[in-house]
């Protein structure tokens, strides 16, 4: 099954809540690791402000999604979890933390976007390792690699640019 071409327009609104169970809650959860992949999801003009939850936004599998003017703040395992082969185009976003499996075909592209902590999933195969493009006007405060091909990539935007420049 594929969930495709879904648009969530927050119209400038905020989803706000207190503490949710961090074991199994997500504010927006699209797709499933058991086969209902999502692709082409568009989320715009939305703020998610939850005291605690497992994920602010969970997008599973598929190809790539587009987030525009999205803010995710609060205490999460990951503010946004891009699970599976999922990549995303993020423009004018402020996200507390992101986990990405973005690959060569579906990287994570940041445009005028600020990320607090980013975790890139690694892989046994270099071509499947997480990919990110940090474009002008964007920043990542802390960057970590996770998985079989983990490399100490350091933190801070200068180190990030050094590693990913030209990718």
Could you report the per-residue pLDDT of 40-93, keeping only the tens digit for each?
Answer: 899 999 999 988 888 889 888 777 889 999 999 988 888 898 887 678 899 999
CA distance 153 to 119: 11
Hey, what are 14's tokens?
């905020």
Q: What distances in angstroms separate CA 61 from CA 11, 19, 38, 145, one per listed residue?
A: 26, 27, 6, 19
Burial class (CB in 10 A: 0-12, 13-18, 19+), 11: exposed
- What is residue 69's predicted lDDT score, i.e. its pLDDT? 98
Number of DSSP helices (H) and strands (E) in the chain, helices first: 1, 12
Q: What distance in Å separates the CA atoms of residue 56 and residue 14, rounded to the nearest whole number?
A: 12
Query: Above 50 in pLDDT, residue 165?
Result: no
Round to whole Å and give the CA distance between 49 and 38.
Answer: 23
DSSP code at position 161: H
pLDDT digits (tens, 9 = 90+) for 15-48: 987 777 666 678 888 887 777 788 889 999 999 9
- Dump pLDDT digits (tens) for 106-140: 788 899 999 999 888 765 555 555 578 888 899 99
162: phi > 0 → left, psi -120 to 50 → alpha, else beta; which? alpha
Question: Predicted confidence band at 157 (pLDDT cuts at 50, 70, 90)?
Answer: very low
Average pLDDT over residues 138-164: 57
Strands (DSSP E) contained in 20-153 are 26-30, 37-39, 42-60, 64-83, 87-91, 94-100, 108-111, 114-121, 132-134, 139-146
What is this structure's pTM? 0.81
CB neighbours of residue 68 within 10 Å: 17
């Amino acid at each position: 099954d594929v969930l495709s071409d879904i648009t969530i327009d927050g119209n400038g609104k905020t989803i706000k809540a207190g503490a949710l169970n961090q074991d199994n809650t997500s504010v927006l959860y699209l797709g499933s690791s058991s086969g209902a992949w999502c692709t082409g999801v568009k989320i715009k003009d939305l703020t998610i402000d939850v005291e605690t939850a497992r994920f602010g936004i969970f997008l599973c599998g598929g190809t790539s999604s587009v987030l525009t003017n999205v803010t995710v703040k609060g205490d999460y395992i990951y503010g946004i979890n891009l699970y599976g082969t999922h990549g995303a185009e993020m423009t004018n976003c402020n996200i507390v933390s992101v986990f990405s499996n973005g690959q060569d075909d579906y990287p994570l592209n940041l445009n005028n976007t600020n990320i607090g902590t980013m975790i890139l999933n690694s892989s046994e195969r270099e071509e499947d390792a997480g990919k990110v493009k940090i474009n002008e006007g964007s920043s990542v405060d802390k960057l970590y690699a996770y998985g079989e091909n983990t490399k100490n990539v350091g933190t801070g935007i200068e180190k990030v640019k050094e590693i990913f420049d030209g990718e």
